[in-house]
Amino acid sequence: MYEVILFDLDGTLTDPKVGITLSVQYALEKMGIYEEDAEKLTPFIGPPLLSAFKEFYHMNDEEATLAISYYRERFSKVGLYENEVYLGIRELLAELKKQGKKLIVATSKPTVFSVKILEHFDLLHFFTAVIGSNLDGTRTEKGDVIEFALQDQNLKERERIIMVGDRKHDVIGAKKNGIDVIAVAYGYGSQEELVTAEPNHMVSSVGELFNLLKFIS
């Protein structure tokens, strides 16, 4: 029986596509790279930005760090609000809270932005804690985020904890910390990516997630 549920933010609780892709597009343009089709930038949703800029645009550490600073110029003012809560998430969180579950956000997005987004959509009150990365670039890997969340909240009975996320990073990070994981296929991880990562459970909609959590909790 799971008493503690960790939720990823982007692609799991909210759909951040517009804000993230347009902010990446803005950052690339400042770096002299012109990507007219923002749709091509959806792979930036989920992984740490430093890794994404390095992997997708072959930047070195210094270039990727500069690109992140440009990204935040736009994201901190506009992009974080170009976002929407997935249909059914609010009801899911309310029911889990009513059942006495401890809910925590565990995200690679900086904590300061995560809190602002949750406040903006009136979701913050559902969560005991919001654990994200630091603005200085530390604690960006999902495994490190989950590890810190477990330590910060003094969570030791790992068989009572489960992670919910939409990318392989969520699955890998959960396994690294010895907790079960549900992969949600309505986010930004492909079916192949999620199946290959081998989560304990996989669902394709918020409704399926709701039913699964009721069944296993």
Report, as residue numbers or ranges, the catalytic residues.
8
Q: d(Cα 197, Cα 177) in Å, to the nearest integer?
A: 15
Give the angle subtended at the CA of 105 by the CAs of 128 and 198, to the nearest 5°. Answer: 135
Decide if 5 contacts 104 (C-beta within 8 A). yes
Q: d(Cα 15, Cα 120) in Å, to the nearest integer?
A: 14
Quick one: which of 24, 78, 76 has its CA closest to 47? 24
What is the biggest distance separating any 2 CA atoms in the chain, rounded to whole angstroms? Answer: 52
In 66-82, which positions are buried (b, 16+ CB within 10 angstroms) versus exposed (e)?
ebbebbbebbeeebbeb
Q: Is the dihedral of CA 3, 8, 9, 14 positive or negative?
A: negative
